[in-house]
Amino acid sequence: MLDVGDGNLVYWEVCGNPDGKPAVVVHGGPGSGCSVNMRRTFDPERFRIVLFDQRNCGRSRPHASDPATDLTNNTTHHLIADMELLREHLGIDKWLMYGGSWGSTLILAYAETHPERVSEIVIPAVTMTRRSEIEWLYRGVGRFFPEAQERFLQGVPEADRDGDVFGVLAAYSRLLADPDQKVREKAAQDWVTWEDAVISQEANGKPNAYSDRPADAVMALTRICAHYFANGAWLEEGVLLRNAHRLAGIPGALIHGRMDMGGPLQTAWELTKVWPDARLYVVEDSGHTGSPTFRDLLSQAIEGFSPPRKG
């Protein structure tokens, strides 16, 4: 556990080769936490692999599933500071950064703040959490899933349904922190049911990918997601794209599924236009949840940034 201040302890672990090339895994969500499978992305003989659970999720404490946990000090800027504190704690000069979906946004925000600390970037599923992207994920894509969107909207009080999508997300944020456990649980279930619907048509997707998680993990994920997205992740609109010139000199590999309904390819395309050192791989048979082709391209990208094998 790393004490990052504000009463927060961030869980971290290091595996692989202590003398290997440093690589940090930045999980998605926000609020998903790390999994054991994330260790397997890198060759443990060649990499020193760092994993951590972002504030208030996974094994970090206090946990967002507890309504008494205050999320005021959980913002994108707090997470950037936590990552930098962890890097210093581990004595790492530069690290390769890996992560997709929300993890992509956090990687870009960190790298544009501390570009001198980043050796390479690998992103499966590119997002920048612009308000336009949030609006698409929680309203725009509903044109393909009108029944599911209606259920999602019905999960909040009627007075909160008719404004913009951020009012809906703020209403969910309040419900997910309600002192009544039944209110919290219903709001969390309504949220993950929507998330399941958005990826439901992906050929390689897993049914109930979000709702099948343990109850406390679902609660933390939904509460932190609502907290972040209702506030535009505390990022100026388009700031990560405007500041992408700060990534100059950092090699990047962006892997994105053409059929990603929740995070359209446009975001990755726009990023490569202003980040010349990044290469975009478009996977025709993949959505947000990947595919065998997607995983093969991801492995090839990481191999391209891997140190040589010894012996």
290 φψ region: left (φ > 0), alpha (ψ -120 to 50), beta (else): left
Per DSSP, which regions of 2-72 are E strands?
2-5, 8-10, 12-16, 21-25, 47-52
Identify the three-state secondary structure at position 121: strand
Number of residues in the chain: 311
Q: Is 288 a catalytic residue?
A: yes
Of 260, 286, 291, 306, the active-site residue reads: 260
Nearest to 102 by CA among 250, 292, 267: 267
Q: Using CA atoms, how far apart are residues 63 and 110, in angstroms rounded to an integer?
A: 23
Burial string for 240-277 (b: 16+ CB within 10 Å, else e) reads: bbebbebbeebbbbbbbbebbbbbbbebbebbbeebee
Q: What's the CA gap between 233 and 131, in Å, rounded?
A: 9
CA distance 227 to 67: 13
The active-site residue, picked from 101, 104, 291, 306, is 101
Q: Is the torsion defined by CA of 139, 225, 196, 66 positive or negative?
A: negative
Give yes or no: 296 in active site: no
**Half-sphere exposure (Cβ direction) of 42: Cα atoms closer than 13 Å:** 28
Q: Is 178 a catalytic residue?
A: no
Active site residues: 101, 260, 288
